[in-house]
Amino acid sequence: MQFWRAAGFAALFVSSVACRAAAQDVTLTSRDGSVELSGTLLGFDGEFYRVETEYGELTLDGSGVLCDGPGCPDLQDFVAEIAVSGSATMGAVLMPALVEGFGLRNGYRTDREAESDAYFTYLLTDEETGKLAARIRFRVTTTDEGFADLLANEADMVMALREIRTDERNRAREAGMGDLTGANRSRVLALDAIVPIVAPNNPVRAISAQDLAEVYAGRIANWSALGGPDAPITLHAPDPGTGLGQAVGDRLLDPAGLEMSAEATVHMRGAEISRAVADDPFAIGLASYAEIEDAQAVVLTGSCGRTLRASRRSIKTEDYPLTAPMFLYLPARRLPKVGREFLAYTRGLAAQNVIRRAGFVDQAPEEVPVDDQGDRFVNAIAAAGAEVTLGELQRMVATLSPMARLTISFRFEAGSIRLDAQSRSNVQQLARALEQGQYDTRRLLFVGFSDGDGASGANRDIALRRAEAVRRAVTIAAETANLERVTLDVDAFGEALPMACDDSAWGRQANRRVEVWLR
């Protein structure tokens, strides 16, 4: 009888920190006594053993074997151990709120034991039996440190405010942790955004993305260049070692070919930036949307006059160009049952409510009626001309006016046909909704839009191909959905409905998108 299976990876499963710290010899025997295997116990998740043997690392179903030796775990009072490391923005508020919400919903009492602000543990105790079910250990530092802990086999989940870097991804794959950009290895937990902020008494209320990048590169150093007073600009920014700081580079500075000024005062926490800026009338900061506090948010604008304001809806649809998804990265290892239940909980509506109450942007789809989108259609009329005809505008209005827009949108990486990270997560989210029958008997229309660079006919063709690609990705992901109960169509209107000005890379990126409309 074969009762084990080879684990296809070398550094697998960290969920039992205690077992990892004190690995000991064990002998596992099949219940009929016909097969025996000895080795060093590397981990146990309450259901499966992970053992280093002469045949390599093997994972064995605990229900089919008997364990003998000093390393054997207590099967009756097994306590799951889960290690979480990474972003302080996520670890300070968001993840604790989700752990507490999960406990409340699943019959666990949650007790927090804190060693410091950066190190704390949640104890989950079954309220019926009084037995300790899990210890969830948090190390709250930076995104960089989170990935370092993962690669050192000291974390089961990484909290990240940026996408994994290529070198981190390659090292994780070499260590047997799988492709951390895969559908089951990464997920967007919640949404945030990078928001320029000033003091409430600062008269500057709008800035272009290009000017904002030049301010932080030190090229614009006086408020008078932005329509403000004749005074030097004081810069506050997130530390470049934090996920938010790296997102600033990825989203704001790199597209402009600029680097952060050495004159900027950097902070480890976004709340520190907000407090510093709120007290200084000549300061500007880049803060997390969830941590603006008493400062004043500044609207992004462009030479064409369109403005993009950070709001819950514009961040959720990714219409606001400086969005910053909040990721959980999960290596290819089996979590204990409690950990798997927690991950399933984070995708449900109850968790979306917790995320919203914590001040972050949730991912629960919303339907936005046409009546609430008047400014978008005004932009369309203003942009009409020789390239976008009145007939095309009329066709767009006739098609979309009986429908509502879903807050799920899809955008592509710059210069690529690959969906960006938030959009890849949206594919899985929409696919799950289809599998659950949420849109049965309804019509979903995938609508492609483009920037205005190039001929309008070619732009519409490109937008249509992108809409078809998104529809195809969603239908492939919705493996168990009965697609005969829902209508999935595609259309495209090219550059007819711009979100931002086309005079910058940020604006063009915002305009290239696939929206989902529903009837």
For the stretch 236-257, pLDDT in tens is 999 998 888 999 998 899 988 9
Q: What is the pLDDT of residue 414?
A: 67
- The two tokens of residue 209 are 């993305």
Fold match, 80-185+330-357 / 365-518: no
Q: How far apart (Å, rounded) are the C-alpha atoms in residues 393 and 390? A: 5
Ordered by start, the domain boundaries in the chain are 4-68, 80-185+330-357, 192-316, 365-518
Q: Is 250 left (phi over 0), alpha (psi -120 to 50) or beta?
A: alpha
**How much is the pLDDT for 305?**
75
Higher pLDDT, 457 or 259: 259
- In this prediction, what percent of the chain has a pLDDT beyond 90? 56
Across 219-373, where does the E strand assignment appear? 234-238, 265-267, 283-288, 296-297, 299-301, 307-308, 323-329, 367-369
pLDDT value at residue 245:
92
Mean pLDDT of 490-514: 85
The per-residue pLDDT for 472 is: 95
pLDDT over 90 at 287, yes or no: yes
CATH level 2 (architecture), domain 80-185+330-357: 3-Layer(aba) Sandwich (3.40)
Sequence-ordered alpha helix ranges (H) in 2-135: 17-21, 88-89, 95-106
Query: Does residue 293 or residue 50 have the better pLDDT?
Result: 293
Query: Looking at the predicted structure, is the pLDDT value of residue 22 above 60?
Result: no
DSSP code string of 192-223: EEEEEEE-TT----EEEHHHHHHHHTTS--BG
Mean of pLDDT values over 106-125? 95
Rg (CA), the chain: 25
3-class state of residue 442 by DSSP: coil
Structure tokens that stand for 327 in this block: 């990721």
DSSP symbol at 165: P
The residue length of the chain stands at: 519
* Interval 468-485: pLDDT, tens: 999 999 999 999 999 999
Contact present, 195 and 287 (Cβ < 8 Å): yes
**CA separation for the pair 340, 355 (Å, rounded):** 19
14 pLDDT above the threshold of 60:
no
Q: Quick check: 456 and 386 in contact, CB under 8 A?
A: no
Q: Mean per-residue pLDDT for 339-346?
A: 94
For residue range 388-430, what is the model confidence (pLDDT) as tens digits? 778 888 888 889 989 999 999 998 876 667 888 888 889 999 9
Task: State residue 7's pLDDT score.
Answer: 34
Q: Cβ(218)–Cβ(253) under 8 Å?
A: no
pLDDT of res. 3: 36
Reduced to 3 states, what is the DSSP secondary structure of residue 476? helix
Q: How far apart are CA 345 and CA 348, in angstroms?
A: 5
Query: What token pair was written down for 177?
Result: 């942790």
On average, the pLDDT of the chain sits at: 88
pLDDT at site 193 = 93
Give me the amino acid identity at 422: Q
Residue 348, helix vs strand vs coil: coil
**Which tokens hold the place of 46?**
């309450």
How do residues 166-204 score in pLDDT, each as one tens digit? 999 999 999 888 899 887 888 899 999 999 999 999 999
Quick check: 155 pLDDT over 90? yes
pLDDT at residue 372 greater than cutoff 80: no
CATH domain 4-68 topology: SH3 type barrels. (2.30.30)
Handedness of CA 201, 205, 282, 198 (dihedral sign): positive
Confidence grade of residue 52 (pLDDT, cut at 50, 70, 90) = confident
Helices 456-477 and 421-435: crossing angle in degrees, nearest 10, is 50
Do the Cβ atoms of 216 and 235 come closer than 8 Å? yes
Query: In this predicted structure, what is the pLDDT of residue 17?
Result: 37
Element counts in the chain: helices (H) and strands (E) = 16, 25
Q: pTM of the full predicted structure? A: 0.81
- What token pair was written down for 424? 């890849």
State how far the Cα of 278 lies from the Cα of 293, in Å rounded to an integer: 9
Gap between the terminal Cα atoms of the chain: 55
Please give the average per-residue pLDDT across 19-25, as a whole number.
53
Q: What is the pLDDT of residue 220?
A: 97
pLDDT for the residue numbered 198: 97
Distance CA 220, CA 199 (A): 18
Report yes or no: 47 and 80 within 8 Å, Cβ to Cβ.
Answer: no
CATH 3.30.1330.60, domain 365-518, yes or no:
yes
Starting at the edge strand found earlier in the chain, the sheet holding 487-494 runs 367-369, 404-410, 513-518, 443-449, 487-494
CATH of domain 192-316: 3.40.190.10
Over residues 75-94, the mean pLDDT reads: 90
Q: How confident is the model at residue 385 (pLDDT cuts 50, 70, 90)?
A: low
- Choose the most confident range, by mean pLDDT, from 49-53, 264-268, 373-377: 264-268
Q: Pull the structure tokens for residue 362.
A: 């949730």
